[in-house]
C-alpha cells in the first residue's frame, strides 16, 4: 500500500507549484481521513491501543506478579492491595490479567498477520499459475478446511509424547496450530479476487506492454487486493483471539502455568457464584478486545468501500469547480 | 445433475480418505496410550502393557506405517475401526454417540437457519429502523463472543431461572434423568434437557445468517429486475417479496455447506459444556486418554459431515438457482 | 394525416386550440400523456441535484416521441418520474396526466393500477431486467395476473404464447418454460417488450431499449417495437442517445441537456433545421455510414454542467462556440422558432441559426489531417502486420464426469490479411463473430499458435525468446474499449504513462520529458499527471489510454472499440484525435468496432467477419458503397442513419435470429442459416451453399474488394425485407 508514494519525488516536487491550485489527495490519505471521520472506528482503535499498552506496562503498577502467592489474601475481592482481588490460590488477578491480555493480543496479532500473509502468497500463486497448479492447491486447501481444527489443536497441545510440547510453551504451540488452520478461507477469497483482477483490462494492458509477471503481481495485483488484506488482518486477529479463548476455556488450548484470557475465564467458571470477579474481569477485557477490533473492522470497511468513497471525490470535484469558477469570474 | 453430484461425491470421498489418513498419522505418532497404562496402580511392567496393547491392536512397537496398514485393512475388509486402550470397540461406541450428537444438533441447525433467514428478511425490510439496529447489533455481538462462553452464559442464565423459581425447570447438563417412567413424564424430562442446549446453540448461530440474509436482500432490493416487476404493476413491497427475496436465497443456500460443519464444530464445545456424551466430547476425551482409534474415527466423522454439508449446499443451490441446473 | 402530436406539426394549418395546448395554457384533453413542468430533485451528500428541470410535453395516441440526450441529461430520470419508479427520496413536482388523470402524488399502491396496464416500460439492460429464477412464462403471466386476477390459467398461457409469437420468439409454447439465462440479449429484450405490451398499454416508454445490443439485433428489436406499437396502438416515448435510432421512428423529438429540454419539434425540423447549437453539435458529431466524403467530426468541448448549482445563464454556454455575454444572463426559455409551427428552441440566437447555417460554421472542426503515406500507393508501403491463416479453435465439451467433446467453436477460422504503413484497417461483425479473439491472437504472439502472425517483420514462429517478444511489444500497442477498466485505479496518470517507459528501460528524466510530451500530444493538460483516473471524464480517460499506447512509439496501434463507451459529443473528439495522430505520427491502426459509422469515418480498409471467417474485405468505400456479400448488406442496412426521410423510405434487411451456435453451423456457407439470398434461392442452388464453402474471391480485377459468396447478386427473400410505408409518417 505504500507504492502510491513511490512516485518519483523529483517529479512531484516539480509539479508542486502546478498543484497548488488543485490539490490531489492520495488515496491512502483519503482512506485515512475517512477512517478518522468514523467515530466508532477511532474509538475501537483507541481501546485496542490502550489495551495493548496496558498489557505491556500494566505490570509496573503492582508489586504482585502472576506466580507469587499472597498467603494473607486468598480468594479476596478487589482491595487497595490487590486491585482486582485474588484467586483462591492467592494469586493477584490484576497481574494475571495483564499477562493474559498480552498473551491473547500476541496470539491474535501473530496469527492474524501471518495467516493473511500465507493466504496472500498461496492465493496469488493459485490465481497466477491457474490450471493444474490451481487445481492441486485448491484440493489441499479444501482438505485442510475439512479437517476439524479443534481435534488437531487438542492432539497437538495435549499429546502425551509429543516432542514439540516439551520444547515449546503452550502459547507458541497454539499459535502454530491456529496458523495452520486459519488461512484457507482468506486464501480462497484472494484467489478468486486475483483471478478477476487478472481479467481486468489494466492487467492485460501491462501484459501487452511486456511488463514481467512478477512486477504485474506486485504493482497491480497486490495493491488492488490491499484493502481486502487489511480487513482480513483485523478479522483474523479477532478470530484468533476468540479461538484462543474458546480452546483454553474447555481446557485444550493454553495450559497452566501459561496464562491467557481464555485460561482465566475457564478457570473461573467453576466458582462463578463464589468468586464472580474472577470470571467477569477477564471476560470484560476479552469483550473490549474483540469489540474494539470489530469496531475498527467496521470503520475500515467503510473507508475502503469504493461506493462511499465516490461521494468524497464528488465533493472534491465540486470544490475544484467552484474554485475554477471563481478564477474565471 | 446426478452425474455432477456423483463427481463431487467422489472428490469428497478422496478428501475424506486423505484427511483421515493424515489424522491417523498425527494421532499415532503423538498419542501414546502405553504411557497412561504405566501410571496405573499397581504399576504394570512395560511387557505387560505392550502385551495388552498388542491384544487390542495398538502395538506400540510397530512403526506408524505398519499400524496404518493394519488399521486401514481392518476398516476396508471388516469395517472395523479398531479398539480403545480400555478394550472397548470403536464401532459400538460410535453409533450411540452419533445418535446423541445428531439429536442435539438437528433441531438447532433447523432453528438457526430459519430464525437467521427470517430475521435477516425482517431487518432488511426495516433497514436503519430501530428493530433493524437492535437485531443487527445483536448479531454482531454474537459474532465477538466465543461459542463456549456464550453457552456457559446461557447455562448460568438457566441456573438463575431455576433458582429464582425455586424449582428445577431446566436441566443444564446431561441428556436425561435416569429412572423416569416412559410416556408423558419421559417426554417432559427430555424437553427439560433439550431446551437449554438448543437455545444456546441457536442463539449463537443465527447471527451470521441474519447478517448475510439482510445484506443479500438489500443488494437485490434495487436490482433491475425488481424495477421491471414494479413496472408490471407490483408495489415495491410485493416486488421485493416475490422477486428480490427468491434471488437473495441463492448465496444463503450456498453457505449451508459451512453451517452444518460449523455447528458440529461448535458441538465440541456444546457437548462439553452441557455434558452430552456425543461425538464431540468423545473426541476430546479420546485425546486425553491417548485413544488413537477413537480420535481418528471422530475426525473421519467430522470430514463426512463437512462433505454432506457441501453436497447439500450444491443441492440447495440447484434448487433455488435455475442457472446452475444442468440441462 | 395531420400530426396530432402537439410538438410535432409539419402541417401548416393548425387549430388555435392545439397551439394553446403546446403553450401549456390548456390541458390537452386528447393527449394520452401530458407532462407539465416536471421537476425532479435528489438529495445527495453534496447538495440537491436538480436532475430534471421543467419538462413539458403532450403525447397523442399512437404517436412516438423521441427524447434525445447524452448521459446525465435527465432523460431516464424523466421516464422513471412518469412511471413513479424513482426512489422515495426523490422530490418530484409538476404534473403528469395519463388520459386526464393526475399521476404525480399517487401512492405506490395507487400507481400500481396504471403501471403495467395503461403505462408500460421497457428498460435498457435486458440481461439484468428479468428475474433470473423465474421462467419467462411466469414473468409474462405475472403481468397479466396483476391486472386481470380473474383470468384463467389457460387463458393467461394462451395470451403469453400469443405475446411471445408477436415479438418474434420461435416456438413460443416451448419457450414459456425457459429461464432468462437461456435467452440471448436480443431475445430477452423481446421478452421485456412482450411483458410491457401484455395489457395493451396506451403509453409505452422505451428507455434505450437497444443500446446494449448488436446492430442486427437492434434492427430486429426496433422492428418488434414497431409491430408492438401497431398491434396495441400505444403511444411510444423512445429515449435514446442515438440520433439514428429515433430518426425513422419518431414523430417528434425533444432534445434534453442538463435536465432541460433545449429544443423540441417535429422530427424533420430537428434534423434538417436545428436551431440550438447543442442539437447542431450532436448531429455534427455523429459520423455517417452512408457518407464517403471525408470531413472532420465536430467535437463539443467540455463537459455537461453539474446539476447541483442552478445555472445562471444558458447551461450550454460554457461549451458553446457562439456564447456571448448575453448568453450568461439568465437561462433562455424554450421559445417558438419561426418556420416550423411547433418548433421551439432554448437559444437566444436561434433566429440567426436557421436555414443555411452549417454545423461546421458554428463549431470549429479541425482540418482533415493528411498523412505523408496518403500519397503513396498502398502496394508500395511496407507491411506492419500480416496474418497468415490464423486459427483459434476451442473444444466444446459436455459431461461432468467424463468430458465428451461435442464440437468445436471456430472462433477464428483461417484468417489472412495485412496492414500497411499509415493505414487504418477495421474488422466489423456482430459479437461472437471472432473480432476480439482475432485481436487476442495477435496480442498473444506465441510460437504455438495455429497460423503465422508477422509484426513489423517479426514472426510469431520465431518469437521463442523474451527479447523478440519485447521488440514486438514496442511495435504494437493496444487501446481498450472501457477506459475505466483499462487504467489501474490506484495509479496516477504519471504512473500509468511511466509503466511502459520504465519497462523499455528509459531513465527518469527521459520518462518525465516523454510523459509531458504525451500529455500534450493527446490534448490533456500536462499538469494533470498527478491525478487519478477517476478524476477524469470518460473521454479524457480514453485519451490517457491512447497516450499510454503511444508511449513507446509503436508502429501499429490496436484499437478495441475505442469509442463505444463514450458519449456522442465526446466520441467525436477522440475520433478526431485518432485521425490526427495517425497522420502526424504515421501510425497504422487495427480497429475493431461494431459501429460501422465510426469504421467508415476513420478506416481505409475493412474486413467483415462472420463466425470466425472474413466474408468480405476491401477498401472501405468500395465495401460500404457496393457491398456484395449478403451479410455485409444486412449489416449496413441495419445501421440507423440520422436522416428521417432516408430512414423512412429505406429498405431494411432484417436478419432472422441470432448468430447460430457452433453446433448448428452448416457444412458449407456459415451464413446460410440466416441468409436472405439463400432463403430466396431455388432448392437446387441452395444445395451448393449448404455443401461447398464459398472462397474469398476478388469482385473485379482492378478493385480492392473480395467477398465469399456464390450468389452475391441474388434476390433477397421478401420476408426479410422491411420498408415502412412512407405515408405512415410524412404529414400530407
C198/C113 same-domain check: yes
C1 pLDDT more than 70: no
A8 pLDDT more than 50: no
Task: Read off the CATH number of the domain in which B123 is found.
Answer: 1.10.3720
| SS3 state at C499 | helix
Query: Residue C663: how many CB atoms within 10 A of its CB?
Result: 10
Average of per-residue pLDDT values in chain B: 83
pLDDT at A71: 75
Give a yes or no: residue B309 inside a domain.
no
Give a yes or no: residue C255 inside a domain.
no
Q: How far is it, in rounded angstroms, from Cα C309 to Cα C47?
A: 9
Where is pLDDT greater, at B10 or C402? B10
Scored b (16 or more CB within 10 A) or e, C93-130 reads ebbbbbbeeebbeeebeebbebbbbbbbbbbbbbbbbb
Where is pLDDT greater, at C19 or C227? C227
Task: Read off the CATH number of the domain in which A306 is found.
Answer: 1.10.3720.10
Residue of A nearest to B309 (CA): A146
pLDDT tens digits for range C459-478: 888 766 778 888 888 889 99
Q: Which of A13, A27, A205 is the best mutation test for C, with the most CBs of C within 10 A?
A: A205
Least confident of B42-46, B232-236, C259-263, C284-288: B42-46
Give a yes or no: residue C509 inside a domain.
yes
B236 touches chain C (CB under 8 A): yes
Q: Is the dihedral of CA C608, C611, C613, C615 positive or negative?
A: negative
First to last CA, chain A: 40
Q: Which chains touch B (3 or more CB pairs under 8 A)?
A: A, C
Give a yes or no: residue C260 inside a domain.
no
Q: B100 and B276 in contact (C-beta within 8 Å)?
A: yes
Cβ contacts (< 8 Å) between A8 and chain C: which residues? 494, 498, 508, 511-512
Q: How far is it, in rounded angstroms, from Cα C544 to Cα C688?
A: 51
pLDDT tens digits for range B187-210: 888 888 888 999 998 998 888 889
A324 pLDDT more than 70: no
> Which residue in the block uniquely carries the three cell numbers 448521459?
C71
pLDDT tens digits for range B18-28: 888 888 888 88
C549/C634 same-domain check: no
- DSSP string computed for C675-721: -HHHHHS-HHHHHHHHHSPPP-EESSTTSSEEE--S-TTPPPPGGGE
pLDDT at C26: 42
B165 pLDDT more than 80: yes
Give a yes or no: residue A308 inside a domain.
yes
Instruction: Indicate the pLDDT class of residue C18, thresholds 50, 70 and 90.
Output: very low
Give a yes or no: residue B42 inside a domain.
no
pLDDT tens digits for range C670-706: 888 888 888 888 888 888 888 888 888 887 766 788 9
Q: Averaged over C607-628, what is the pLDDT?
A: 91
A99: nearest Cα among A259, A211, A297: A259
pLDDT tens digits for range A300-321: 877 776 544 333 333 333 333 3
B321 touches chain C (CB under 8 A): yes
A234: nearest Cα among A277, A289, A271: A289
B27 touches chain A (CB under 8 A): yes
pLDDT at C665: 67
C9 pLDDT more than 60: no
Cβ contacts (< 8 Å) between C146 and chain B: which residues? 232-234
- The 3-state DSSP composition of chain C as helix, strand, coil percent (nearest 5) reads 35, 20, 45
Q: How far is it, in rounded angstroms, from Cα A327 to Cα A321?
A: 10
pLDDT tens digits for range A79-121: 777 777 777 777 788 888 888 899 999 999 999 999 998 898 8
Give a yes or no: residue C3 inside a domain.
no
CA dist B46 to A145, B34, B51, B58, B229, Å?
40, 8, 9, 14, 79
Smallest Cβ distance to C485: which of A200, A206, A314? A200
pLDDT at A328: 39
Pairing type for strands C64-68 and C252-257 reads parallel
C561/C663 same-domain check: no
Set of cell numbers at residue B151: 453457552
Q: In chain A, how many domains are there?
A: 1
Question: What is the distance in angstroms between the Cα of A5 and the nearest Cα belonging to chain B?
Answer: 35
Q: Averaged over C626-643, what is the pLDDT?
A: 89
B183 touches chain C (CB under 8 A): no
Give a yes or no: residue C540 inside a domain.
yes
pLDDT tens digits for range C203-224: 999 998 888 788 888 888 888 8
Instruction: Indicate the pLDDT class of residue A271, thresholds 50, 70 and 90.
Output: confident
Give a yes or no: residue A7 inside a domain.
no
Structural domain including C163 reads 25-250
Instruction: Indicate the pLDDT class of residue A48, thresholds 50, 70 and 90.
Output: very high
Least confident of B230-244, C138-152, C363-377, C546-560: C363-377
Cβ contacts (< 8 Å) between B250 and chain C: which residues? 133
Where is pLDDT greater, at C533 or C388? C388
C526 pLDDT more than 80: yes
Tell me the whole-structure pTM to 2 decimals: 0.80
Q: How far is it, in rounded angstroms, from Cα B4 to Cα A319?
A: 57
Give a yes or no: residue B293 inside a domain.
no
Most confident of A258-262, B313-317, C161-165: C161-165
pLDDT at A323: 41
Q: B90 and B84 in contact (C-beta within 8 Å)?
A: yes
Give a yes or no: residue B122 inside a domain.
yes
Cβ contacts (< 8 Å) between B287 and chain A: which residues? 151, 154-155, 158-159, 252
Give a yes or no: residue C264 inside a domain.
no
Scored b (16 or more CB within 10 A) or e, B77-86 reads eeebbbbbbe
Q: Please state the three-class secondary structure of chain A as a single string.
A: CCHHHHCCHHHHHHHHHHHCCCCCCCHHHHHHHHHHHCHHHHHHHHHHHHHHHHHHHHHHHCCCCCCCECCCCCCCCCCCCCCCCECCCCEEHHHHHHHHHHHHHHHHHHHHHHHHHHHHHHHHHHHHHCHHHHHHHHHHHHHHHHCCHHHHHHHHHHCCCCHHHHHCCHHHHHHHHHHHCCCHHHHHHHHHHHHHHHCCHHHHHHHHCCCCHHHHHHHHHHHHHHHHHHHHHHHHHHHHHHHHHHHHHCCCCCCCCCCCHHHHHHHHHHHCCCCHHHHHHHHHHHHHHHHHHHHHHHHHHHHHCHHHHHHHHHHHHHHHHHHHHHHHC
Contact B232 C143 (CB under 8 A): yes
Least confident of A192-196, C342-346, C354-358, C441-445: C354-358
Give a yes or no: residue C73 inside a domain.
yes
B14 touches chain C (CB under 8 A): no
Structural domain including B171 reads 98-283
Q: Please state the three-class secondary structure of C502-565 as a single string.
A: HHCCCCHHHHHHHHHHHHHHCCCCHHHCCCCHHHCCHHHHHHHHHHHHHCCCCCEEEEECCCCC
Q: How far is it, in rounded angstroms, from Cα C557 to Cα C549?
A: 7
A251 pLDDT more than 80: no
Phi, psi of C35 (to 5 degrees): -115, 130
Least confident of C5-14, C261-270, C401-410, C414-423: C5-14
Cβ contacts (< 8 Å) between B228 and chain C: which residues? 123, 129-131, 192, 195
- DSSP string computed for B87-102: S-BHHHHHHHHHHHHH
Give a yes or no: residue C259 inside a domain.
no
C415/C537 same-domain check: yes
Q: Where in C339-457 does DSSP place strands (E)?
A: 344-345, 383-398, 404-420, 424-428, 450-455
Angle at C179 (CA atoms; ends C201, C165), nearest 5 degrees: 45
pLDDT at C650: 81
Instruction: Indicate the pLDDT class of residue C169, thresholds 50, 70 and 90.
Output: confident
Q: In chain C, how many domains are there?
A: 4
pLDDT at B320: 81
| SS3 state at C412 | strand
Smallest Cβ distance to B15: which of A146, A160, A161? A146
Query: Residue B299: how many CB atoms within 10 A of its CB?
Result: 27
Cβ contacts (< 8 Å) between A24 and chain C: which residues? 492, 530-532, 535
Q: In chain B, how many domains are there?
A: 1
Give a yes or no: residue A44 inside a domain.
no
Q: Taking the CA atoms of chain B, what radius of gyration do you get in angstroms?
A: 24
Give a yes or no: residue B7 inside a domain.
no
- Peptide bond just before A257 cis, omega within 30 deg: yes
pLDDT at C201: 93
pLDDT at A311: 38
pLDDT tens digits for range A199-221: 888 988 898 888 888 888 888 88
Contact A208 C46 (CB under 8 A): no
Task: Read off the CATH number of the domain in which C493 is found.
Answer: 3.40.50.300
Instruction: Indicate the pLDDT class of residue C726, thresholds 50, 70 and 90.
Output: very low
pLDDT tens digits for range C67-96: 998 888 889 999 999 999 998 888 999 999
Set of cell numbers at residue C62: 399512437
Could you give the dihedral angle defined by the CA atoms of residues B53, B58, B60 and B63, in that order, rounded to the nearest 10 degrees? 160
Give a yes or no: residue A151 inside a domain.
yes
pLDDT at A180: 82
C197/C59 same-domain check: yes
Q: Averaged over B29-42, what is the pLDDT?
A: 70
C564: nearest Cα among C438, C443, C480: C480
pLDDT at C629: 92
pLDDT at A10: 32
C55/C157 same-domain check: yes
pLDDT at C29: 61
What ipTM did this prediction achieve?
Answer: 0.81
- Peptide bond just before B42 cis, omega within 30 deg: yes
Amino acid at each position: 500500500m505504500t507504492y502510491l508514494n513511490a512516485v518519483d519525488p523529483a517529479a512531484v516536487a516539480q509539479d508542486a507549484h502546478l498543484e497548488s491550485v488543485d490539490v490531489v489527495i492520495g488515496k491512502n490519505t483519503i482512506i485515512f481521513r475517512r477512517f478518522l471521520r468514523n467515530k466508532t472506528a477511532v474509538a475501537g482503535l483507541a481501546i485496542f491501543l490502550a489495551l495493548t499498552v496496558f498489557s505491556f506496562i500494566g505490570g509496573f503498577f503492582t508489586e504482585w506478579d502472576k506466580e507469587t502467592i499472597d498467603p494473607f489474601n486468598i480468594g479476596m475481592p478487589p482491595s487497595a492491595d490487590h486491585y482486582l482481588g485474588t484467586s483462591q490460590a492467592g494469586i493477584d488477578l490484576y497481574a494475571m490479567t495483564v499477562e493474559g491480555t498480552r498473551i491473547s493480543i500476541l496470539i491474535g496479532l501473530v496469527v492474524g498477520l501471518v495467516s493473511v500473509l500465507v493466504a496472500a502468497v498461496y492465493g496469488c500463486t493459485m490465481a497466477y499459475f491457474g490450471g493444474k497448479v490451481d487445481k492441486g492447491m485448491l484440493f489441499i486447501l479444501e482438505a485442510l478446511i475439512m479437517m476439524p481444527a479443534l481435534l488437531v489443536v487438542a492432539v497437538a497441545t495435549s499429546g502425551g509424547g509429543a516432542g514439540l510440547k516439551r520444547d515449546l510453551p503452550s502459547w507458541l504451540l497454539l499459535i502454530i496450530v491456529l496458523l495452520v488452520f486459519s488461512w484457507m478461507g482468506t486464501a480462497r477469497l484472494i484467489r478468486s479476487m486475483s483471478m478477476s483482477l487478472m481479467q481486468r483490462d489494466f492487467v492485460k494492458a501491462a501484459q501487452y506492454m511486456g511488463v514481467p509477471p512478477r512486477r504485474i503481481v506486485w504493482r497491480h495485483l497486490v495493491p488492488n487486493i490491499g484493502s481486502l488484506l487489511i480487513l482480513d488482518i483485523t478479522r483474523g486477529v479477532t478470530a484468533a483471539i476468540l479461538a484462543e479463548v474458546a480452546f483454553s476455556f474447555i481446557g485444550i488450548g493454553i495450559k497452566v502455568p501459561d496464562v491467557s484470557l481464555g485460561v482465566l475465564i475457564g478457570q473461573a467458571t467453576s466458582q462463578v457464584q463464589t468468586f464472580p470477579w474472577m470470571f467477569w474481569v477477564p471476560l470484560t477485557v476479552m469483550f473490549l478486545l474483540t469489540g474494539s477490533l470489530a469496531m475498527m473492522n467496521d470503520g475500515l470497511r467503510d473507508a475502503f468501500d469504493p461506493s462511499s468513497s465516490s461521494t468524497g471525490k464528488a465533493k472534491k470535484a465540486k470544490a475544484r469547480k467552484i474554485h475554477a469558477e471563481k478564477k474565471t469570474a | 445433475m446426478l452425474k455432477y453430484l456423483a463427481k463431487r461425491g467422489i472428490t469428497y470421498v478422496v478428501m475424506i480418505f486423505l484427511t483421515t489418513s493424515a489424522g491417523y498419522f498425527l494421532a499415532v505418532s503423538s498419542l501414546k496410550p502405553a504411557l497412561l497404562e504405566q501410571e496405573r496402580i499397581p504399576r504394570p511392567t512395560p511387557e505387560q502393557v505392550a502385551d495388552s496393547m498388542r491384544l487390542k491392536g495398538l502395538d506400540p512397537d510397530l512403526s506408524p506405517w505398519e499400524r496404518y496398514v493394519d488399521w486401514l485393512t481392518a476398516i476396508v475388509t471388516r469395517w472395523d475401526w479398531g479398539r480403545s486402550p480400555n478394550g472397548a470397540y470403536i464401532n459400538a461406541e460410535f453409533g450411540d454417540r452419533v445418535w446423541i450428537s445428531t439429536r442435539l444438533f438437528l433441531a438447532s441447525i433447523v432453528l438457526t437457519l430459519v430464525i437467521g433467514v427470517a430475521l435477516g428478511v425482517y431487518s432488511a425490510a426495516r433497514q436503519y429502523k430501530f428493530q433493524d439496529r437492535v437485531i443487527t447489533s445483536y448479531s454482531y455481538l454474537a459474532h465477538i463472543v466465543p461459542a463456549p462462553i456464550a453457552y456457559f452464559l446461557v447455562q448460568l442464565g438457566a441456573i438463575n431461572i431455576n433458582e429464582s423459581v425455586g424449582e428445577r425447570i431446566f436441566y443444564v447438563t446431561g441428556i436425561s434423568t435416569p429412572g423416569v417412567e416412559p410416556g408423558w413424564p419421559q417426554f417432559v424430562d427430555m424437553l427439560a434437557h433439550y431446551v437449554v442446549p438448543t437455545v444456546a446453540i441457536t442463539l449463537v448461530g443465527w447471527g451470521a445468517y441474519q447478517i448475510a440474509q439482510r445484506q443479500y436482500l438489500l443488494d437485490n432490493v434495487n436490482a433491475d429486475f425488481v424495477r421491471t416487476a414494479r413496472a408490471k404493476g407490483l408495489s415495491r413491497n410485493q416486488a421485493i417479496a416475490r422477486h428480490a427475496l427468491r434471488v437473495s436465497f441463492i448465496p444463503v443456500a450456498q453457505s449451508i455447506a459451512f453451517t452444518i460443519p460449523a455447528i458440529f464444530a461448535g458441538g465440541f464445545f456444546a457437548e462439553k459444556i452441557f455434558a452430552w456424551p456425543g461425538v464431540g466430547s468423545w473426541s476430546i476425551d479420546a485425546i486425553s486418554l491417548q485413544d488413537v482409534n477413537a480420535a481418528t474415527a471422530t475426525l473421519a466423522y467430522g470430514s463426512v459431515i463437512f462433505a454432506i454439508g457441501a453436497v447439500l449446499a450444491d443441492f440447495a443451490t440447484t434448487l433455488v438457482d435455475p442457472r446452475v441446473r444442468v440441462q | 394525416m395531420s400530426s396530432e402530436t402537439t410538438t410535432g406539426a409539419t402541417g401548416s394549418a393548425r387549430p388555435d386550440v392545439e397551439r394553446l395546448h403546446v403553450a401549456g395554457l390548456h390541458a390537452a384533453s386528447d393527449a394520452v400523456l401530458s407532462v407539465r413542468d416536471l421537476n425532479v430533485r435528489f438529495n445527495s451528500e453534496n447538495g440537491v441535484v436538480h436532475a430534471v428541470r421543467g419538462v413539458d410535453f403532450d403525447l397523442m395516441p399512437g404517436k412516438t416521441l423521441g427524447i434525445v440526450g447524452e448521459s446525465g441529461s435527465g432523460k431516464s430520470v424523466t421516464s422513471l418520474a412518469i412511471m413513479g419508479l424513482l426512489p422515495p427520496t426523490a422530490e418530484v413536482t409538476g404534473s403528469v396526466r395519463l388520459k386526464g388523470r393526475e399521476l404525480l402524488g399517487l401512492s405506490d399502491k395507487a400507481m400500481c393500477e396504471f403501471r403495467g396496464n395503461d403505462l408500460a416500460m421497457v428498460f435498457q439492460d435486458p440481461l439484468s431486467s428479468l428475474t433470473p429464477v423465474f421462467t419467462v412464462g411466469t414473468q409474462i403471466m405475472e403481468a397479466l395476473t396483476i391486472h386481470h386476477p380473474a383470468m384463467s390459467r389457460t387463458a393467461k398461457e394462451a395470451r403469453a404464447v400469443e405475446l411471445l409469437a408477436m415479438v418474434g420468439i420461435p416456438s413460443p409454447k416451448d419457450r414459456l418454460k425457459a429461464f432468462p439465462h437461456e435467452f440471448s440479449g436480443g431475445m430477452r429484450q423481446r421478452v421485456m417488450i412482450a411483458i410491457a405490451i401484455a395489457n395493451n398499454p396506451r403509453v409505452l416508454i422505451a428507455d434505450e431499449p437497444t443500446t446494449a445490443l448488436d446492430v442486427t439485433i437492434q434492427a430486429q428489436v426496433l422492428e418488434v417495437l414497431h409491430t408492438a406499437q401497431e398491434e396495441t396502438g400505444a403511444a411510444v416515448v423512445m429515449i435514446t442517445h442515438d440520433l439514428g435510432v429515433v430518426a425513422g421512428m419518431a414523430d417528434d423529438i425533444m432534445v434534453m441537456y442538463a435536465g432541460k429540454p433545449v429544443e423540441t419539434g417535429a422530427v424533420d425540423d430537428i434534423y434538417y433545421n436545428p436551431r440550438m447549437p447543442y442539437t447542431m453539435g450532436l448531429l455534427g458529431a455523429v459520423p455517417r455510414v452512408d457518407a464517403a466524403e471525408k470531413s472532420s467530426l465536430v467535437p463539443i468541448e467540455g463537459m455537461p454542467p453539474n446539476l447541483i448549482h442552478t445555472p445562471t445563464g444558458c447551461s450550454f454556454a460554457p461549451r458553446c462556440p457562439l456564447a456571448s455575454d448575453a448568453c450568461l444572463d439568465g437561462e433562455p426559455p424554450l421559445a417558438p422558432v419561426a418556420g416550423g409551427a411547433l418548433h421551439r428552441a432554448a437559444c437566444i440566437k436561434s433566429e440567426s441559426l436557421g436555414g443555411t447555417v452549417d454545423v461546421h460554421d458554428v463549431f470549429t472542426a479541425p482540418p482533415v489531417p493528411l498523412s505523408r503515406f496518403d500519397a503513396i500507393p498502398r502496394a508500395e508501403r511496407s507491411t506492419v502486420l500480416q496474418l497468415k491463416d490464423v486459427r483459434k479453435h476451442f473444444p466444446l465439451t459436455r459431461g461432468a464426469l467424463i468430458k465428451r467433446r461435442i464440437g468445436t467453436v471456430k472462433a477464428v477460422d483461417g484468417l489472412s490479411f495485412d496492414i500497411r504503413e499509415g493505414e487504418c484497417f477495421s474488422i466489423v461483425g456482430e459479437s461472437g463473430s471472432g473480432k476480439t479473439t482475432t485481436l487476442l491472437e495477435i496480442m498473444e504472439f506465441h510460437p504455438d499458435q495455429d497460423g503465422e502472425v508477422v509484426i513489423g517483420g517479426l514472426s510469431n514462429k520465431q518469437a521463442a525468446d523474451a527479447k523478440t517478444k519485447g521488440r514486438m511489444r514496442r511495435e504494437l500497442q493496444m487501446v481498450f474499449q472501457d477506459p475505466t477498466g483499462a487504467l489501474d485505479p490506484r495509479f496516477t496518470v504519471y504512473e500509468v504513462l511511466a509503466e511502459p517507459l520504465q519497462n523499455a528501460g528509459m531513465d527518469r528524466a527521459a520518462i518525465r520529458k516523454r510523459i509531458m510530451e504525451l500529455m500534450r500530444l493527446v490534448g490533456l493538460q500536462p499538469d494533470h499527471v498527478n491525478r487519478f483516473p477517476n478524476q477524469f471524464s470518460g473521454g479524457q480517460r480514453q485519451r490517457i489510454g491512447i497516450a499510454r499506447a503511444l508511449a513507446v512509439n509503436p508502429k501499429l496501434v490496436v484499437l478495441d472499440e475505442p469509442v463505444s463507451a463514450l458519449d456522442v459529443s465526446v466520441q467525436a473528439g477522440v475520433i478526431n484525435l485518432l485521425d490526427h495522430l495517425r497522420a502526424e505520427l504515421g501510425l497504422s491502426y487495427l480497429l475493431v468496432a461494431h459501429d460501422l459509422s465510426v469504421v467508415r469515418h476513420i478506416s481505409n480498409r475493412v474486413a467483415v467477419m462472420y463466425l470466425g471467417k472474413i466474408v468480405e474485405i476491401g477498401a472501405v468505400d468500395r465495401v460500404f458503397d457496393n457491398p456484395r456479400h449478403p451479410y455485409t448488406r444486412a449489416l449496413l442496412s441495419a445501421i440507423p442513419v440520422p436522416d428521417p426521410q432516408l430512414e423512412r423510405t429505406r429498405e431494411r434487411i432484417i436478419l432472422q435470429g441470432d448468430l447460430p451456435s457452433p453446433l448448428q453451423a452448416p457444412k458449407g456457407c456459415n451464413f446460410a442459416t440466416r441468409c436472405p439470398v439463400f432463403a430466396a434461392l431455388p432448392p437446387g442452388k441452395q444445395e451448393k451453399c449448404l455443401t461447398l464453402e464459398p472462397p474469398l474471391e476478388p469482385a473485379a480485377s482492378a478493385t480492392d474488394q473480395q467477398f465469399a459468396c456464390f450468389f452475391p447478386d441474388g434476390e433477397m427473400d421478401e420476408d426479410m425485407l422491411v420498408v415502412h410505408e412512407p405515408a405512415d409518417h410524412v404529414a400530407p
